Chains A and B, each alone.
Chain A
Amino acid sequence: MSFLKKPFAAGILYALILLGFTAYAALDTFVIPRTYSPIISESQSESSAETSSNAESGEMSSESNVSREPDESSLSEWFTETVVQTDMTYSDPHIAITITKYREYGTDIFLADIRLSDPSYLKTAFAKDSFGQNIRALTSTTAKAHNALLAINGDYYGARVGSGGYVLRNGMLYQDRPMSSRVTGTLDDLVMWNDGSFSIINEKTTTADSLMKGGARHLLSFGPTMLSNGQLTVSPETLTGLSRSKNPRTAIGIVDIGHYVFAVAEGRQGNANAGLTVYEMALFLQSHGVTTAYNLDGGGSSTLYFNGQLINHPTDGTSFKERSVSDIVYIGY
């Protein structure tokens, strides 16, 4: 008790309280895992999707110019009757993947060209199959768990659980509150519809409920949108912060229904791989015929997994190692 009478005792006590609270807040933000259930189940969304068509609702502004039916004649030339696989290619009767490495802007860029006979082979998965906060796993781990043929890291939804931003995966809605303006990111989301088309929506003008009713299959929320109807939607002047600097990048895009691309650029490797700005990634994808392209979580999260192997070299700039992330986008059965 005599300690409490010392002049500095109260100060030390308060400092300890402050330190303890800060430690708890940090653990709550970055460490303590919490899982949550979906708001709307897939069975509920499927019954709604049967009676409504996507991109017709007045609340949505679909900017996809792709046709509503896959061009089966052009797709069939890519598939093979049996599984044919190399280090950078895969084909079977339903899925064809070709990964090509390009060198542009002083950076290696891996472009996965994907043809699917059925858009349902384009899937998403949560780390540890659980939606929540501080639930993370390596992209490769989640991909292996789902027998993914090809996978990239997703939109790291885990950073905004509770902060807002729609989370919709595999037809299930997990978070329907629009994104808080405080959280880094844009309000434009990429919607992948049941029919295989892509759309860009804005959370300010489109409700999650309308997306569910319209037949949305997956929604990714990171951004910015890079291409829409084949036109650039970003420029060096409009980009800010991380988007404007050179970094590893992950992007997803569509050429046509049934024809998609995953792109992952190396970066943070000095002169060997400087990285890309979002604008450079947009230009690259535009040059490859992508009509709608969307930027996903980059930096140390950028990961391309194919056939059980990492194709790129994930790094946060200090060491080469894969980063644990909240979710992935993948191709598989």
Chain B
Amino acid sequence: MSISVTERNQKSVRRISYVWLITAAAVAVAGRVYEHFSHEIYSFPMMYAFLYPLLAGALPYQTLALLEKRSPGRLSRGLYNAGVVSLTVGSVFDGVLEIYGTSNSLTSVYAVAGVILMTAGLLLYLLSPHTRKKQSKDG
């Protein structure tokens, strides 16, 4: 039996959301381990870095799967995922600096790049012809 395009889309989107879920768990564990060895210095960026892959990664893709929406195209997906990765890496790095007791203005680059990439990916998905056509059909 062949799998319909819709089912393939949903499978693909769910797979991506699971990858983000695993990433969120890994970041949470890594952050906890790092803080364990930091002699009781706690850092919010380190403690909550896992929220980026969880809320900006797993959650949107799981929502797309549940609502049976079209899977984002490769470019849109790549840009958005790169943005989430940037924010996550930036948060972890910021946490490392905070635990060390210092700071560096370069960490703002992660946030800027992350937001720009996520926004670009999101806009590309929302404004793509396939999405607009489906929306008008549904309407």
Q: Which chain A residues have a beta carbon within 8 Å of chain B's beta carbons?
A: 7, 10-11, 14-15, 18, 21-22, 24-26, 28-30, 156, 159-160, 162-163, 180, 182-185, 241-242, 244-245, 247, 299, 317
Contact = CB atoms under 8 A, between A and B. Distances in A.
A236 to B, nearest CB: 14
Interface of B: 39-42, 74, 78, 81-82, 85-86, 89, 93, 97-98, 100-107, 109
B51 to A, nearest CB: 19
Contacts of B104: 25, 28-29, 162
Give the interface SS of chain A, mostly helix, strand, loop or mixed. helix
Contact of B42 (A28, A182, A241): A241
B78 A241 contact: no
A14 B40 contact: no
6 contacts: A25-B107, A30-B100, A156-B101, A183-B101, A183-B102, A242-B39
Nearest to B37: A317
Given A25-B106, A182-B103, A241 B82 contact: no
Given A162-B104, A183-B102, A241-B41, 6 more contacts: A22-B89, A25-B106, A29-B102, A29-B104, A160-B101, A245-B39
B98 A184 contact: yes
A162 B103 CA distance: 8
Contact of A11 (B42, B78, B106, B107): B78
Nearest to B82: A14
B103 A163 contact: yes
A244 B74 CA distance: 50
Nearest to B40: A245
Nearest to A18: B89
B102 A159 contact: yes
A182 B42 CA distance: 12
Contact of A10 (B41, B78, B86, B105): B78
A159 B93 contact: no
Contacts of A244: 40
A26 B41 CA distance: 19
B108 to A, nearest CB: 11
Contacts of B78: 10-11, 14
A184 B41 contact: yes
